[in-house]
Chains A and B, each alone.
Chain A
Amino acid sequence: MSRTFTIIKPDSVEKGNFGKIISRLEEAGFRIVGIKKLHLSKTQAEAFYGVHRERPFFGDLVRYMTSGPVYVAALEGGDAVAQLRKLMGATDPGKADAGTIRKDFGESIERNAIHGSDSDENAAIEIGFFFAQSELV
């Protein structure tokens, strides 16, 4: 068993799709270790996406991620990082495989429904960004 991290993004919450997305995660075998509903501050979003700070889309990304509430969650399952990325589909919903979360719920590269960690190392960092170890039992 390993852990990964996900954000159910503002477009999913706004459209009421978060429940369906949580169901997809559970049906795929993930256990929700911890979940919070947050409205990210600009400072939080800039820090979380700090690795993209020099990229041209950074400002738009921060504006979007602070535009409404999100759910952040730590998930546990077999080969969690790879399993979640397969379930999410390609970053661009238009290029995502049928049956993936982004294909079914995403609108665009930015409003693409869900975030998932891209490596075990980043999963640990991202979980630690939002959750204290004592919260995840």
Chain B
Amino acid sequence: MIIECSHCHARYEYDSARFAGKPSRKIRCARCSEIFEILNPEQASAGTPANKEAADNTMVRGRRSYAGTSRDAIPEIEDEEPESSADYAAPLELPKDKRFSLAITDGADAARVFRIDRARVTLGRSGADITLNDVETSREHAAIEVRGGVVYLEDLGSTNGTFAGGSRITQPVEIHNHQEFIVGTTTLMLIVTALE
């Protein structure tokens, strides 16, 4: 589906699966930083006439309306609220057709790239699978889990928190290819590579 910023009218492609059953989501516009709300069209159409009308007339619009829009010109967006997913119950397993890596893009360890070679790896100052040279991280600060081909980020009760999509996470959240997240003062990027 195509969504549109209520302020600058920038249009973005949005995977409606990311509603994860919620009636609405808050989105921060990548162009103007406006935070706007989008409505889940599936829930709106099943709801009251007022809700249905709102879904038809607000930022939520079908792709067909913008058939001429260049998809390549649409910048990425970030959810204001990190999402969790019902698929978190899927078993821990690395898919054979993808390779997952974590690149440290900012912080004392910037430039390092780690291959995720197990379905669950922990990050932290000491005793973790991936050791971070960052005193602001807890010993075991966060974990990355791969379940059903989806990558989840979980905070392990750290002192200074784990941040994704601009918010401190309180439960496992799905992270996407090339999304960055922050533990302590370290920024990491998930890199997913399709294998031949």
Residues of A whose CB lies within 8 Å of any CB of B are 15-20, 22-23, 26-27, 32-37, 71, 74, 104-105, 131-132, 135-137
Given contacts A36-B110, A135-B112, 16 further A-B contacts (CB under 8 A): A15-B30, A15-B75, A16-B75, A16-B76, A16-B77, A18-B178, A19-B179, A22-B191, A26-B191, A27-B194, A37-B105, A37-B106, A37-B180, A104-B72, A131-B111, A132-B111
Contact of B113 among A27, A35, A105 (CB under 8 A): A35
Highest count of chain A CB atoms <10 Å: which of B103, B191, B194: B103
Contact A36 B113 (CB under 8 A): no
Chain B residues within 8 Å of A74, by CB? 111
How many of chain B's residues have a CB under 8 angstroms from any CB in A? 22
Do A17 and B75 touch (CB < 8 A)? yes
Q: Which residue of A lies closest to B193 (CB)?
A: A26
- A residues within 8 A CB of B178? 18-19, 22-23
What are 18 A-B contacts defined by CB distance under 8 Å?
A: A16-B30, A17-B76, A18-B178, A19-B76, A19-B177, A23-B177, A32-B103, A34-B112, A35-B103, A35-B105, A35-B113, A35-B189, A36-B110, A37-B106, A37-B187, A105-B72, A135-B111, A136-B111
Q: What distance in Å separates the Cβ of A23 from its nearest Cβ neighbour in chain B?
A: 7
Write the nearest CB–CB distance from A128 to chain B, whole angstroms: 12
Interface contacts (Cβ under 8 Å), in number, total 55
Determine how close the nearest CB of chain A comes to the CB of B12; give it in whole angstroms: 9
Query: How far is B192's CA from A20's CA once the two chains are assembled, in angstroms?
Result: 12
Min CB gap A43→B, angstroms: 19
- Scoring B76, B113, B189 by chain A CB atoms within 10 A of each residue's CB, the highest score goes to B113
Select from chain B the residue with minimum beta-carbon distance to A131. B111
Complex CA distance for A137 and B115, rounded to whole angstroms = 12
Q: Does B84 contact A (CB under 8 A)?
A: no
Residues of A within 8 A of B187 (CB): 37
Do residues B106 and A36 form an inter-chain contact, with CB atoms below 8 A? yes
Q: What's the nearest-Cβ distance from chain B to residue A105, in Å?
A: 7
Closest residue of chain A to B105 (Cβ to Cβ) is A37
A135-B103 Cα distance, complex, nearest whole Å: 12
Distance in Å: Cβ of B180 to nearest Cβ of chain A: 8
- On chain A, the residues within 8 Å of B191 by CB distance are 22, 26, 32
Q: Which residues of A contact B193 (CB under 8 A)?
A: 26
| A-chain residues with CB within 8 Å of residue B77 when the two chains form the complex | 16
Residue-wise, chain B 169-196 has the 8 Å CB interface mask toward A (1 for contact) of: 0000000011110000001010101100
